[in-house]
């Protein structure tokens, strides 16, 4: 039986936890699946600092990432 996600978020959990603890945002753009927020909460990643954009076109993805990078530089 195939399953989606086998705990790979644990590889990034320390870094993601530190980002949200410092009250910085995590930008998620065009994810293929919606993350299971309860698992993130269990790993002490603050979902209030997760910003998710659902875009379809490659140009929209690039524009969204560019704006996210620019926004991070100004804060």
pLDDT reported for residue 8: 79
The conformational region for residue 37 under phi > 0 = left, psi -120 to 50 = alpha, else beta, is alpha
d(CA 70, CA 66): 6
Annotated domain spans of the chain = 9-74
The pTM is what? Answer: 0.77
Digit-by-digit pLDDT tens for the chain (75 residues) are 455 666 778 899 999 999 999 999 999 999 888 888 888 999 999 999 999 999 999 999 999 999 999 988 766
């Amino acid at each position: 039986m195939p399953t989606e996600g086998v705990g790979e978020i644990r590889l990034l959990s320390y870094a993601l936890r530190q980002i949200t603890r410092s009250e910085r945002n995590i930008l998620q753009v065009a994810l293929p699946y919606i993350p299971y927020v309860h698992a993130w909460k269990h790993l002490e990643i603050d979902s209030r600092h997760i910003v998710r954009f659902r875009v379809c076109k490659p140009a929209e993805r690039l524009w969204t990432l560019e704006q996210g990078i620019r926004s991070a530089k100004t804060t």
